[in-house]
Structure 1
């Protein structure tokens, strides 16, 4: 649900940014704000706390981010605070970045592996996938030991499962179906 709501806020902000020719600038400002909130756990707790008034939250956000963020981003933050949706700022950033990358002709790809990839491995994978898809890619790497080995690729709404856990689940399903038949 929060993803759908975040998409609406991101789309509205993106349209304003596009009109003003500031897609990259606003993306950078959003990233700075999200990073600032991520790095300061106490600040995040204050902003999420239901007993802190909206006015106090908005004043705090203004003081902390007025040098890093323009009017549009500050207005978005105030709107999120007014609507008690402070927690979705990361989702708004993600949706906004996706829209900006789409406009730039860059495809967002999420790669999940059982162990962390180093920068060279990410770069090599991005080049090979980019060549195969004939697109520039923005790679987002995640680690999930539960996949055991192999790789999970999410490209847009499609998921390609080349993980050991995925193959084991497939075998298990085949065995179940085999028993029934």
Structure 2
């Protein structure tokens, strides 16, 4: 069976249930935190795959990973996932729930990585520029990474533009190396 089918079914079911209860935003925040926890702590997935760990202990761990105070909907959903032994799909479920929520709310994801911090005015101009031809809202994250040396790395939804000095230097180096290999 396709590994993406199971998480998508669970994410759709959770999203539909949360919408019925008017709690989709709360569950979205919990799923965001859970996805961040999986990304930050690789051992979380390994621990959840441990068959010796009891369901109640797994549930407590997942709820802690999702935030300090989780909703009843989230707790009930985790109980169902654990009952059906689908905890290995939990990270994918969280990510797919995020996608479903963002699509329903017309939320665009944007990111900008620069070598030096942006001023608030520059960041606001970037936000406005990104949303000129789009409807909905923008989740925008600006980060600083001195290792790119200069320029920027820009991303919106699935599109990525790397105009960093570090990447340009790598390209020049690779072109130089390729040209020299051919001449030997």
Partner of 2:88: 85
Contact kept, 8 Å, 2:131 with 2:138, in 1: the verdict is yes
CA displacement 1:117-156 (0-9 Å, x = unmatched): 455543332112222x434421123443332222112222
When residues 108 and 65 of structure 1 are mapped into structure 2, their CA distance, relative to the original with a 3 A threshold, is closer
Structure 2: runs of 5 or more not aligned = none
Alignment partners' CA distance in 2, 1:117 and 1:21: 37
Partner of 1:69: 71
Give me the TM-score of the superposition, normalised by structure 2.
0.63
The number of aligned residues is 169
Partner of 2:138: 137
Measured after TM superposition, the shift of residue 4 of structure 1 is 5.1
Contact kept, 8 Å, 2:28 with 2:98, in 1: the verdict is yes
Q: CA RMSD in A?
A: 4.2
The structure whose residues are more often helix, as a share, is 1
Structure 1: runs of 5 or more not aligned = none
1:155-170 counterparts in 2 under 5 A? 155-170=156-171
